Amino acid sequence: MLAIIAGRGRLPALLAAERPQALVCVISGGAPEIGGRGADMTFRIERLMPFIAELKAAGVREVCFAGAATRPALDPAAFDPETAALAPRFAQAMRAGDDGTLKFVLNLFAENGFAIRAAHEILPGLLPGAGVHGAVSPDAGARTDADRAAQVIAALGAADVGQGCVVQQGQVLAVEALPGTDWMLARLADAPFAARPDPSAGRGLFFKAPKPGQDRRIDLPVIGCGTVAAVKAAGLGGIVIDAGGVMVLDMPRVVSACDAAGLFLWVRGRG
């Protein structure tokens, strides 16, 4: 049996629709979008080991982590003894950043006999093929901007900073950090600062890719129709994502939205 550890966004609902027999599990107090279906289990990070025992008792053998998550505030008084014994490892992982925290969680579940399933293993269509999708194509300037953006994300990702950035005419206008993609694009849309390049010479692009060395079973970046609307509002010319490294929710609708907005959607292959 599969358990879906559900965060925010549409991805958990898509997975639950594809695997209706799966258990949907959410952190206590979380409110992920899982369609009309309620959570089968809720859990607290402070009681992670009893939750793992519950999964085993329910016959769960595979887990899939899906959706955005926020680091919870931990209550020392809520820890059970077994989970409390893990607290030093967990604290060390959190000090290593998001990547370290995710690796700790994955290793913990693997140590307890669970197979980790990536969302795109369950829904392979989440990863579109390389190439330009839709009616609009990136010009030579956009392709140069994409090369520049890939360099930026490689550098920032190695420092565990983010998975997205905005580049226009070779200039880095914004980089994604803890507040996320939507916040970054909204701030750019609200900031018509004088230093922004002339859009008549190239409107720039939003670039998204996984971090270097990222474990692709969890936390792959995701875009959807909301991303398209945010990119258009920011006055950009298109979206570039890393082939095999960024999931697209409802690809046909995203392509249609890009066409309607006059944006290009380029799934950029390597080499």
Q: pLDDT, tens digit, for every residue of 112-140?
A: 999 999 999 999 999 999 999 999 999 99
Domain 127-268 has CATH 3.40.140.80: yes
Q: DSSP secondary structure string, the chain?
A: -EEEEE-BSSHHHHHHHH-TTSEEEEETT-----TTPPPSEEE-GGGHHHHHHHHHHTT--EEEEESB--PPPP-GGG--HHHHTTHHHHHHHHHT-HHHHHHHHHHHHHHTTPEE--HHHH-GGGSPPSEEESS----HHHHHHHHHHHHHHHHHHHTT--SEEEEETTEEEEE--TT-HHHHHHHHHT---TTSPPGGG---EEEE-PPTT--TTS---EE-HHHHHHHHHTT--EEEEETTT-EETTHHHHHHHHHHHT-EEEEEPP-
pTM > 0.75: yes or no = yes
Q: What pLDDT does residue 193 have?
A: 66
Q: pLDDT, tens digit, for every residue of 148-195?
A: 999 999 998 878 788 999 999 999 999 998 888 999 999 988 876 666
Q: In the predicted model, what is the mean pLDDT of residues 26-35?
A: 72
Q: Where in the chain is the domain with CATH 3.40.50.20?
A: 2-122
Q: What pLDDT does residue 249 have?
A: 94
Greatest mean pLDDT among 41-50, 129-138, 155-164, 218-227 lies in: 129-138
Q: Where in the chain is the domain with CATH 3.40.140.80?
A: 127-268
Q: What pLDDT does residue 16 have?
A: 92
Q: In the CATH hierarchy, which top-level class contains the domain 2-122?
A: alpha beta
> Residue 240: pLDDT band by 50, 70, 90 thresholds?
very high
